[in-house]
Amino acid sequence: MICSVTIKKIIVPLILIPVMLLFPAASSMAATPFTGLEAACAVLAEVESGEVLFAKNSGARHPADALARAMTLLLAVSACENDAIDISVLVEMTETAWFDINSSSTTQDIAQGEELTLLDLMYCAYIGSANEACNLIAEFIAGSVEEFVVMMNEQASALGCRNTNFVNTHGQYKERQYTTAMDQFLIYREAMSHPLFAEISGTYRYSVSGAGEEPRNLTNPNSLLNSTSKYYYRQCTSGLTSATYEGGYSFIAYAESEDLELISVVLGSDVIMFEDQSALMRNLSESSRLLEWGFNSYGWRTVLSSGDLIAKAPILHGDGADSVNLHPESSIRLLLDKDISNEEFVRSIVIYSEENDEPLYAPVASGEVLGEVTLTRKGENYGKRLLVANTSIELHRFEYVKSQLREALTSKTARIVMAVLFTLLAGYIALVIRYNVLRRKRLRRIADRKRQLMDEARSRPPD
């Protein structure tokens, strides 16, 4: 089902103007949910991780409208990378490039036969909102608009878009042309990874020379880039606006701080008209408010550093050391709510030698894996890293030899052998003692017998 929005003009008393202009982005404290978004669909997501910080009907179909230009420019700059196509090449305006462009469409009135560089055409298509420029780019790159639209849908599918279908290159309303807030984030994130896309989409004013005497002076409708506008948002460096009867007011914005890149997609917003005939474009003001909430609430933080000393592993026979310091092999960096403190994370440490009840012997090499650490918070796992030795520990050879001898002498086999030897020795000693006792007895008997014979001889009368 298409999520369509009719453009609304809401009359607001003039007394409310200062309040709405001074506080378009009501301060959002960290961990405070974002509320009250005035749009049919929206997404706020972080660029590096792709993590969605806020979503409202993010998967609902919505008319693609002029947001299709992001895909057109993405394919154009991709075709020019690595010098595949020279951006200074002249492209002649064709009759067919005006096909299917109705009278209410935005154009730059590029005349048939007029020549513009491909780069100038890209500026006309994107910040000049020129439908004919989109078609001419398509013909130049793919040979025809139809083939280019096929490329657009193939690229969308490759980026993971689940509910996007393009019918034309510029977004002029067609019933079968639709997208979602989440899909637009995926497309714009990829687009902003191309420097030329970022440069074109972030340009506020650009002059295009053409066949006429006066150049075409283009002004980007993204007022968040305009430092004199009430919508100016300093962190915003790129964006794309759209406004149709069927799809309402929509806006994609890219903004960055020192350590955070955000993309907001707001689809199907409206306009507030004040009594003095001034207006508030809520696709722009709501985008600023959403981005400000994101920057105030979230940030990247290193919760486990590769330089942290996590544990000490006992080591045997180390030369000058009885333990080795362990640190994570790599850091854990998380996108976190700013209300979350590092102290809330629990480190579960496993040292392999202790877990297996086996001593760790030197030598140990610097960087050798000796354990692991797991980071959790409130039962949720935030990552695991291997623990490695921060230095090399050499083997103390003398201590090693002593221990080996000690181990050999105290082993079960050694005890059995020593018991056997002791038994044999004891038996031998017992035999020797018995032999000596018996020998002494025998010698004593012999001596006694000799004395007896001598006594008998002395007592016998002479013959």
**Helix ranges restricted to H, 159-281:** 181-191, 195-201
Which H/E stretch holds residue 17?
helix 17-22
Contact between 342 and 367 under an 8 Å Cβ cutoff? The reply is no
| The predicted structure's pLDDT at residue 104 | 83
For 119-151, the pLDDT digits (tens) are 999 999 999 999 999 999 999 999 999 999 999
Q: What sign for the dihedral angle of Cα 320, 323, 329, 334?
A: negative
Domains 9-297 and 305-399 agree in fold: no
If one counts every other C-beta atom within 10 angstroms of the C-beta of residue 289, the result is 24
Residue 82: per-residue pLDDT: 83
Q: Which residues of the chain have pLDDT under 50?
A: 1-31
Tokens representing residue 349 in the block: 């440490």
Coil/strand/helix, residue 64: coil
CATH number of 305-399: 2.60.410.10
Report how far apart, in Å, the C-alpha atoms of 126 and of each of 134, 137, 434 are: 8, 11, 116
Global pTM reads: 0.80
Is 284 in contact with 221 (CB distance < 8 Å)? no
What DSSP designation does 94 have?
-
Instruction: Name which of 349, 350, 351, 304 is nearest 329 in CA terms.
Output: 304
Residue identified by tokens 């002059």 is: 207
Q: Residue 458: its pLDDT value, please?
A: 72
Q: How far is CA 19 from CA 2, 13, 16, 140, 160, in A?
A: 34, 11, 5, 49, 41
Q: How far apart, in whole angstroms, are the C-alpha atoms of residue 47 and residue 69?
A: 20
Span 9-297 CATH architecture: 3-Layer(aba) Sandwich (3.40)
Please count the residues of the chain. Answer: 463
Strand order in the sheet with 248-256: 52-56, 41-46, 261-269, 248-256, 236-244
Q: What residue spans define the domains of the chain? A: 9-297, 305-399, 415-459
pLDDT at 455: 72
Token look-up 């490695």 returns 388
pLDDT at 256: 98
With a CB cutoff of 8 Å and minimum separation 6, the contacts of 265 are 41, 42, 43, 44, 181, 182, 184, 185, 188, 250, 251, 252
